[in-house]
Structure 1
Amino acid sequence: MIHLICTLEPARISFIPQFVEHYSLLGVGTFHLSVQVEPEAGGAAVNCAEAAAVSELSRYGIRLAGTLVEPFSSFALRAHHDRIQDAKTRPSDWIIWADIDEFHVYPGDFKSLLQFAESMNIDYFHGRLVERAAADGKLKNFDPAQPLWTQYPRRFELSDTIVPGISRKVPCARANIRVNPGHHFPASAGPLRYYADAVEVHHFKWDDSVVQRLSRRLQPDFRERCPWWVESRNVIDYIERNGFITPEIDDDVPLRRGVSL
């Protein structure tokens, strides 16, 4: 069984249709999608977010996995996902780990890759972020009626001078493997085997809502919980100074097939 575990903020509920359709085509059998609402938003906001998420998911016969009402923290989110992982999956299953704005492109037919991975006792796939932006690099409004791929056709890498972050991801792993907050590395102990070809994790973050969404991370309570708030400040400062993201074009890198330890 292929599972997908994801928790999204209310501002990203409009991504659900394209997200579900993309991963359904890959072969995901069970979606565990939750919505997270900050407590200070109030009960009405919680009810509104739940209703909107349920409405979108019901079109695909998917039930909302839960509502997380607590201040955002990648550690709290990780604990929530660990609970779902323990309750809903078996060790022989596979889990896709994807944020609502992350769309995976695998180096081959996904189900065939999983069969190969099982035959070679591979534990997980590794990937790299591919940032996506509008053709002119500006922050384009997302139109749910149009494909993300055509709205944000430009591939780029964020400069380390803006965000010295981690571009590595664990997009898919066996269900008995823990991953760290942010899905950047496996958290399970012991030597693990991964498929050598990198998965492209296309990141559709850069629309006209990004400054508003990241501004929450500049508040004192968030800064106390998450020391990487500085990255959000750097991004906001850069966008407000320039009016756009200045991308470096990321040409396709030839990938090798095989198994690495």
Structure 2
Amino acid sequence: MLSTPPALISVIGPVEPPLLAAWVRHYRALGIERFLIAFHFPEHVPDTLRHELQVAAREVGIIPTHTSTGPWHEHTNGELRDELRHRAGPGWHLLADADEFHQYPGPLHQVIAHAEKTGHRVVGGLMLDRITESGHLTGWRLENGLDRAYPLGGHLTHRLLHADPRKVVLARHDVSVASGNHRSPGHRPDPNRLCAVHHFKWRDGVRQDIERRAAHSADGTWQTASPAVLAEARRLLAHLGEHGGGINISDPRFAFRHVSLARMPANWLAEARGIVTAWRPYAYSSQD
């Protein structure tokens, strides 16, 4: 059994510097000591934001392993992530985007020990989408924190977008992980020990990001391997258009309720197991 904490692996785009700082604090509190991050900035990102993120990383003691610019093709994230995993070397790797805050059913070292004891080479999670009390896509103030700004958690990713809500949150170094960290070919995580992946994507600016991805995917500027990326973007934009630019918090499909990074949601393990074991890829048609 390995006693050292896992290395955190992440490819980070143009997020707000305070979000990056909060993300680092969160994972340090979980016991992470080693961060291997790569920045990738599409051409539209201003130089000022690129500089601010580089400074923010260094202020929390992290020197980015790699920085690149250019189109955000579907394969970009996976290629950069695998380069970071190679650099990280042997051991367990924790995989998290900058808007993903993991919440485990126990201390991280116990989660890994249980996986090794039961012969699991990956640990899985399920996205829990975090939104504002009103459903509007707003910004947040550092002093108030993410929990107060986005107090509701629910299942938007798969029940609206029909996207894969599963995540591989921890993987042994010699285990491959598919694009988006959604699965690991040949390996299944323990469905009874799923992490809550608090997904703080639905913030100010996300609509513009989704519109940009939809446009670039449609015209081929950003390469995609499946119709999913464009269809998911269009589905979200249609929903926002129908609900005044926000997310419909009253839709029972999404099961929004108050949650917190301080404690696991009530009945999470049973809820997550039921969703993950029943989930199947969406069958796209010519109408999507």
What TM bracket, shorter-length normalisation?
0.7 to 0.9
Q: Which amino acid aligns with 1:205?
A: K
Match in the other structure for 1:205: 201
Whether the 8 Å CA contact 2:127–2:166 is kept in 1: the answer is: yes
Aligned partner of 1:5 among 9, 15, 21: 9
C-alpha distance in structure 2 between counterparts of 1:56 and 1:5, whole Å: 17
Does the aligned pair in 2 maintain the 1:124–1:195 contact within 8 Å? no
Task: Calculate percent identity across the aligned residue pairs.
Answer: 25
Q: Distance in 2 between matches of 1:159 and 1:217?
A: 16
Q: CA deviation at 1:115?
A: 2.3
Structure 2 counterpart of 1:245, from 231, 244, 247? 247
Q: Say if 1:229 and 1:144 are closer, same or farther in 2 by CA, change over 3 A.
A: farther
TM score, norm. by length of structure 1: 0.86
CA distance in 2, matches of 1:170, 1:141: 28
1:229 partner amino acid: L
| Count of matched residue pairs | 248
Counterpart contact for 2:130–2:202, Cα < 8 Å: yes
Change (3 A) 1:191 1:80: closer
Contact 2:213 2:222 in 1 (8 A): yes
Q: Which residue of 2 aligns with 1:259?
A: none
Matches within 5 A, 1:1-261: 1=4, 2-38=6-42, 40-41=43-44, 45=46, 47-90=47-90, 93-158=91-156, 162-187=160-185, 190=186, 194=190, 196-219=192-215, 220-222=219-221, 224-226=223-225, 227=227, 228-243=229-244, 244-247=246-249, 248-250=254-256, 252-255=266-269
Contact 2:37–2:84, Cα closer than 8 Å, also in 1: no
The alignment's TM-score, normalised by the length of structure 2, stands at: 0.78
Conservation of the 8 A alpha-carbon contact between 1:130 and 1:200 = yes
Residue 99 (structure 1) shift: 0.9
Distance 2:159 2:169 in 1: 26
Contact 1:223 1:229 survives alignment (8 Å): no
Ranges in structure 1 where 5+ consecutive residues have no aligned partner: 257-261
AA partner of residue 25 (structure 1): A
* SS in structure 1 at match of 2:180: coil
The answer on whether the counterparts of 1:123 and 1:194 sit within 8 Å (CA) in structure 2 is no
Contact 1:216–1:222 (Cα < 8 Å) also in 2: no
Q: Cα deviation per residue 1:189-244 (whole Å; 9 max; x = unaligned)?
A: x4556463111001111112110111111221256525321211211121122121
RMSD over aligned CA atoms reads 2.2
Task: Indicate if the aligned counterparts of 1:12 and 1:100 stay in contact, CA closer than 8 A.
Answer: no
Where does structure 2 lack aligned partners over 5 or more consecutive residues? 258-265, 271-288
Q: CA deviation at 1:69?
A: 1.6
Which whole-Å CA distance do the structure 1 matches of 2:24 and 2:159 have between them? 34
More deviation in 19-28 or 9-18? 9-18
Larger % of strand: which? 1
1:50 shift after superposition: 4.0
Mapped to 2, the partners of 1:33 and 1:191 lie a distance apart of: 25
